[in-house]
Amino acid sequence: MSAIQRLPDLLINQIAAGEVIERPAAALKELLENSLDAGATEISVHLEGGGIKLVRVRDNGNGITQEELPLALERHATSKIASLADLQQVSSMGFRGEALASMAAIAQVTITSRRMESPHAWQIKSMDGIQGEIAPAAHSHGTSVEIREIYFNTPVRRKFLKSEATEFTYCEEIFKRIALSRPDVAFSLQHNNRTVWQLPPMACPGQTHPAFASRLAGSGRIENADGLPKRIEAILGTDFVQSAVMISRQTAGLHLSGMVSLPVYSRATREAQYFFVNDRFIRDKVIAHAIRQAYHDILHLQRHPAFVLFLDMPPELVDVNVHPSKSEVRFRESKAIHQFVFHTLHDALSTPASSTPTGSALPDQRSPGSSSGQRITWLSQPVQQPMNLHIASQPMALYDALYGDMASRKEPAANPYDSPTAFPPAQPLQSGIPPLGFALAQLAGIYILAQNIHGLVVVDMHAAHERIIYENLKAALDEHQIPMQTLLIPASFSAEALDIATAEEERSAIARLGFTIDPLPPTTLAVRAMPAMLKQAHAEAAARDVLREMREYGSTRVLTERRNELLSTLACHSAVRANQNLTLPEMNSILREMERTERSGQCNHGRPTWFQMSITELDTLFMRGK
């Protein structure tokens, strides 16, 4: 066995580089963060060969003095911390003093820098960890760092790098993350002398958006928060901004702000998810779980939401010195952080259908809404051929008898099962037409056609009714008062011995769900009462679902972590079915309930429940005005 010996400094740095500088994108991240720490307001990036051949970052920051240039390439030399107390409340992006030394060990590094007060710049070069002489150079105030031929002296490691296109994709993603975190800074990115991104500073003095204004108080690095939505739009696109909601909530030293997509805008991958803690991009299991929970029953199947979120908090409450890449953190109060993020997003997404901009599942098909208060008269136009619709038998005049002057009506009493949301309840428009309008007809026994001031509203009646019942059941169970309805004739059915035993053992838990299920020896169960909200449900099917959940998971899990799955199933049993003919009052009742119900823009499985087609879109289809 070989004797223990001290490793050479170059080898130490090369080992460290394997952790800190995994690929060109990691080098780019470290250089961009150094520029921001130096107070730069303009940063340009030039890449060649996907960053493998060259990564150059130039900024107009404070610069480095001639005396400090050699130290910049030394291990554990930094201007950002000086004590353990500084490490425990890091406010800068970098702090370890490892990045440049690691780069110098595996690449050809050139640093050129000039302080504002200096007559000229100074330059230092390093290869194989060996520093050259400091020499005068021409450079405006600020710093340029060039990293050439990454891993040129460790060919085995270089073989692990991907293709030029793939490495550039990684670099571009790092660039976008940093640019999103600092909208007040101008960024540009060139690849092989082709401009890819040109992002001007987005500060707009005097026009700070209220959703982001409070970020200014906790961050001296952001000059104006109104630029954030503009920077988000520049990077993620107009479709995202139009299909997202702004959020801002502050409590107990925590502040969460940003934009989250509505369920109608979702992705097949997690590529459009950006979460920052004190302006540092991170990936964290606690945060990821909180966000998944907020979208739990409103996002379809394996789709993923898009978001740009900023969590500002005291730096001493989060440890960023967990991973060499600083992309993982450890929260001191992780449970509190989880609850704060979850409830903030949950409330922001709890909009009634009338507050949802569109029910379309395609983010680029949003309907331009009309601001006119005049009634729409397009249905009075002559039609070419009658359509095969099920028209409710009540005359249209029934609207006046049922709803009268909507503007002068008092708001109905608040539903005791409704939980507070971040948005006001739907109000009738000044024209007297509710947000989702009035029902006109049923199409194919599946859809409700309605007219509002914008044009045509199409509602999937089963999906919408299912969501309404589901939300009411959840609210009632939260209040421990699901209204029960005794059946005039108990519904009896044959059951296995295990189901009979479950009905006896879990009687109190079953009662909390609004059911009374009694054994009738030897092999029969009788449903004597069930939730009043499920009056349309098949009693036997609903009872079997409850017993199956109780048998497989136990009452504790059913009433906690499994309750939403069970309530969703029960709601599906009771919702109106396809080919069930509804009257106008019944259709309008569903529309009014949608306007009052949280998350009614999506069914329990995340599919959209309605969409809007404006008069302008209809005119375009028929080429009117051309």
Q: What is the pLDDT of residues 133-169, one digit of tens each?
A: 889 999 999 999 999 998 888 787 788 888 999 999 9
Please report the domains of the chain, with CATH numbers, ordered by start residue.
Answer: 9-199 (3.30.565.10), 210-349 (3.30.230.10), 367-626 (3.30.1540.20)
Neighbours of 179 (CB within 10 A): 23
What value does the CA radius of gyration of the chain take, rounded to a whole number of Å? 31
**Cβ neighbours around 416 below 10 Å, total:** 10
3-state SS, residue 336: helix
Residue 543: HSE in the Cβ half-sphere, 13 Å Cα cutoff:
27
Amino acid letter for position 181: S
CA distance 172 to 305: 21
d(CA 565, CA 563): 5
Q: Say how far residue 262 (Cα) sits from the centre of its chain.
A: 8
Per the CB < 8 A criterion, the answer to whether 604 and 295 are in contact is no
475: closest CA among 515, 534, 415, 556?
A: 415
Strand order across the 484-494 sheet? 484-494, 524-531, 516-520
pLDDT of residue 55: 95
pLDDT in tens, 441-496: 989 888 999 999 989 999 999 989 988 988 888 888 888 778 888 888 889 998 88
The DSSP bridge pattern shows strands 307-312 and 273-277 to be parallel
Predicted pLDDT of residue 181: 93
Neighbour-count burial of 612, counting CB atoms closer than 10 A to its CB (0-12 exposed, 13-18 middle, 19+ buried): buried
Q: Work out the average pLDDT over 564-585.
A: 84
The C-alpha atoms of residue 558 and residue 547 are separated, in whole angstroms, by 10
Confidence of residue 379 (pLDDT cuts 50, 70, 90): very low
Closest CA to 183 of 163, 167, 207, 159: 207
Q: Tell me what pLDDT residue 259 has.
A: 93
Query: Can you point out the beta strands (E) in 2-95?
Result: 42-48, 54-59
**Are residues 437 and 591 in contact, defined by beta-carbon separation less than 8 angstroms?**
yes
For range 306-321, the mean pLDDT? 87
Calpha distance 45→296 (Å, rounded): 39
Q: Residue 611: what are its φ and ψ, rounded to 5°?
A: -145, 160
The pLDDT of residue 296 is 83
Poorest-pLDDT segment among 44-58, 122-136, 155-169, 193-207 = 193-207
pTM of the model: 0.69
What's the average model confidence in pLDDT over 512-531?
Answer: 88
Phi/psi at 438 (5° precision): -115, 145
The pLDDT of residue 83: 56
Average pLDDT over residues 484-513: 87
Q: Kindly state the average pLDDT of the residues 434-447.
A: 90
Describe the chain by its helix, strand, coil percentages, rounded to 5: 35, 20, 45
Report in angstroms the alpha-carbon separations of 481 from 416, 466, 474: 10, 20, 10
Question: Is residue 11 packed enough to be buried (19+ CB in 10 Å), middle (13-18) or exposed (0-12)?
Answer: exposed
pLDDT > 50? residue 374: no
Lowest mean pLDDT: which of 154-168, 214-228, 383-397, 494-508? 383-397
Q: Is the pLDDT of residue 413 over 70?
A: no
Pairing of strands 484-494, 524-531: antiparallel
- DSSP designation for 96: S
59 contacts 43 by C-beta, under 8 angstroms: yes
Q: How far apart are CA 595 and CA 601, in angstroms?
A: 9
Among residues of the chain, what percentage have pLDDT more than 90? 27
Distances (CA, A) of 536 to 127, 469, 543, 573: 78, 11, 13, 8
End-to-end CA distance of the chain: 89
- Residue 1 confidence class, pLDDT cut points 50, 70, 90: low
- Contact between 24 and 50 under an 8 Å Cβ cutoff? The reply is yes
Name the band, by pLDDT with cuts 50, 70 and 90, for residue 87: low
Choice between 602 and 189, residue whose per-residue pLDDT is larger: 189
Residues 427, 355: contact at Cβ < 8 Å?
no
pLDDT in the model for residue 365: 35
DSSP-derived secondary structure for 547-610? HHHHHHHHHHHHTTTTHHHHHHHHHHHHSPPTT----HHHHHHHHHHHHHSTTTTB-TTS-B-E
Among 266-270, 470-474, 542-546, the range scoring the smallest mean pLDDT is 266-270
For the chain, the average pLDDT equals 78
10 pLDDT above the threshold of 80:
no
Q: What pLDDT sits at residue 52?
A: 93
Decide if 318 contacts 285 (C-beta within 8 A): no
CA-closest candidate to residue 474, choices 580, 565, 384, 551: 565
Read off the amino acid at residue 243: S
pLDDT tens, position by position, 113-128: 999 888 999 999 988 7
- What is residue 588's predicted lDDT score, i.e. its pLDDT? 92
Q: How far is Cα 421 from Cα 427, in angstroms, rounded to an integer?
A: 15
Q: What is the DSSP string of 140-199?
A: -SEEEEEEESTTTT-HHHHTTS--HHHHHHHHHHHHHHHHHH-TTSEEEEEETTEEEEEE
Q: Please check whether residue 280 is in contact with residue 245, taking contact to mean a CB–CB distance below 8 angstroms.
A: no
User: Given this model, what pLDDT does residue 603 score?
Assistant: 82
Residues in the chain, how many?
626
Instruction: Name which of 126-140, 180-194, 435-449, 559-573 the model is least confident about.
Output: 559-573
571 or 224: which leads in pLDDT = 571
Beta bridge partners of 443: 447
Three-state DSSP at 457 gives strand
Maximal CA-CA distance, the chain: 100
CA-to-CA separations, 601 to 297, 351, 452, 467, in angstroms, rounded = 12, 8, 16, 9
Cα distances (angstroms) measured from residue 226 to each of 183, 199, 253, 262: 9, 15, 22, 21
Whether residue 332 has pLDDT greater than 80:
yes
Tokens 């909390």 — which residue? Answer: 512
Locus of tokens 């997509």: 261
pLDDT computed for residue 323 by the predictor: 62
Other Cβ atoms less than 10 A from the Cβ of 214: the count is 17
CA distance 604 to 626: 42
